Amino acid sequence: MKDKFTVGSLYAGVGGICLGFKNAGFALEWANEFDKNACVTYKKNFKHNLIEGDVMQLDVTKLEKVDILTAGFPCQPFSVAGYRKGFEDSRGNHFFKILDFVDEMRPKVIFLENVKNLKGHDKGNTIKVIENEIRKRDYTFDSAVLNTKDFGNIPHNRERIFIVAFDKKYLNNNNFEFHFPEKEDLTKTIKDLVTKEKVDDKFYYHEDKYMYNMLKESIVDKNRIYQFRRQYVRENKSSVCPTLTANMGTGGHNVPLITTDFGFRKLTPRECFRFQGFPDDFKLPEISNSHLYKQAGNSVSMPVIERLASEIFKVIENTEAKKTKKSKEKA
């Protein structure tokens, strides 16, 4: 049986999908990412081949074939923020580029991640196109929307759709059923992820800020996370972090707010990465906080990926064991 199954990662970002698969026992072969600052963070944490640049320019035939092809492909064409253009948006062509990799490499497994809205986009037609294209290549197709707070034991309200497809020829009619992970109890709290000591003064709001009095009056509970919304402060009463977004890196007051023994402040980039399930030994480079906030908001929740990857590993391991048994019986 193969020691480790290999992974190729498209739209790798800072490596949330890669780290989840690595932790589940897979070997990372190569990855591709376009954003140069995300590449800086990625290279600080992984040693394998990172191809920097536009996926559309990649020559699929030159890349090492892999067992698992993963892609957290661009969210914009399938989200409300992306004007719901779907495949009419040029960025929607990224899905068809992924299919080029599938056709050339014939991976055992395709693993895709996207925004929850992909499921209902264009009255469900977009996901139907995706499913049809995958199925007609003789792959299985399973999808589910999972929330980080329910499947990653991280207090972060983040719903994403995950698509898992197995090559039927590889499975060779083995009876199998892919199981998405079960819901689990949320045991971690906001306080578990927030730095206990005083952080850099630049993250705090002081009296020189025009909204100081409003924030001081509203941000009072250490077990809650708040958001500043121009004319008011929104308290997230569910005691979890609201969905972190890439626009945290665009300045203004988009970063969620908390109160501590040292005053009220923004979450730090490190805390945002924690709310995505990254361990503290995941290295953050010395680049601007705006880039780090954007990277955290763009990333996947790593523990959810790890659980999904573990379920995929079970299916592959089971299939390999059956193939080994059959070959021994024939011998």
Residues tagged active-site: 75
**Dihedral class, residue 102 (left if φ above 0, else alpha if ψ from -120 to 50, else beta):** alpha
Residues in the chain: 331
Q: Classify residue 60 as left (phi > 0), alpha (psi -120 to 50) or beta.
A: alpha
How far is Cα 238 from Cα 229, in angstroms, rounded to an integer? Answer: 18
Convert 289-326 to b/e letters by CB count within 10 Å (16 or more is b).
Answer: bebbbbbbbbbbbbbbbbbbbbebbebbeebeeeeeee
CA dihedral 212, 217, 223, 225 (to 10 degrees): -50
